Amino acid sequence: MRETLIVARKEFMDCLRSRWLISGSLLFAILSIAVFFGTAAIGGSLQFQPLATVVNSLLSLTVFLLPLLSLMLCYDAFVGEAESGTLLLMLTYPLSRTQWLLGKALGQGSALAVVLVLGFAALPVVQAFLEVPYPMGELLTALGKLAASGWLLALVFMLLAYWVSLIVRHKAQALAALLVLWFVLVLVYDLALLVVSVAGADVFGRSVLSGMMLANPASVFRLINQMGAADAALVRPEAAVLAGILIGWVLVLFFICRWVLLRRRM
């Protein structure tokens, strides 16, 4: 694992040197605080809403922003190195392609985890200094669940970015393809599912609609973290099962990327 960890450290330090780590953490922290106080000011006065409302608002922020940050970080992970000529240089070092892929995933995945932790850490700090009607334990539990499942979602989109970066020839192609993918998975898919559930609920049935929702990692992430929301048209599995689905996405995408990388001609 020594070679893998060296690659992981290099990728993490690249995120730090490029200011991506700092800017991503600040962006999450600022937007989290804005959501925290924005939900309290909805009625025209600063009156804090129930914790479920705050978490659902943070969920909406995370499901849109986090996949986009992951794609922006990783879209040029391989095609960028191929264009700059460093790809062949990396492969002359005494490490396998699998070690290189795993090292990249560990380094950039760790950077995404740090962004989530630092971004959501702003809310417990606010809780410590202001009279907010949420027990600290409940707030930390909800944020921990949101951060852990958000990290799995970020890994899914990170590996999707790796896959696209491995099969295209130019960075612009990778960025365009991944933006379309983000638009479909995060925005269009749930809207289409809503239309199908309203127009064809009697035709498809609850199990089919639930299966369609579980096929999208962004929808699975929403289901894990939705608090106080129940949809009678859907069968909702336990949070552990939903987390297992995200982990399955991560493993499958990693092995797809490994398969493509092993067969790619440099």
Q: Going from the first residue of the chain to its last (266 residues), give the mean pLDDT of each consecutive group of 10, the final group possibly shorter.
A: 88 87 88 82 70 85 91 88 76 82 94 92 82 81 91 95 92 92 91 78 71 88 71 58 93 95 78
Distance CA(263)–CA(4), nearest Å, equals: 20
Q: Tell me, what's the pLDDT at 231?
A: 46
55/181 Cα distance (integer angstroms): 26
Find out whether 183 and 69 touch, Cβ atoms under 8 Å.
no
Q: Which two tokens stand for residue 116?
A: 């989530």
- Quick one: pLDDT at residue 44? 63
Tokens encoding 248: 């399955």
- In the chain, DSSP assigns E strands to none
Q: What is the pLDDT of residue 233?
A: 42
- Give Cβ neighbours of residue 123 (< 8 Å, ≥ 6 apart): 32, 33, 36, 139, 143
Residue-level pLDDT at 227:
52
- Cα angle for residues 184, 187, 190 (degrees, 5° grid): 95
Closest to 50 (Cα-Cα) out of 133, 106, 167, 128: 133
Predicted TM-score of the model (pTM): 0.89
Neighbours of 35 (CB within 10 A): 20
Please report the pLDDT score of residue 230 as a whole number. 45
Both tokens of 77, joined, read 């992970």
By C-alpha distance, which of 17, 14, 154, 156 is closest to 90? 14
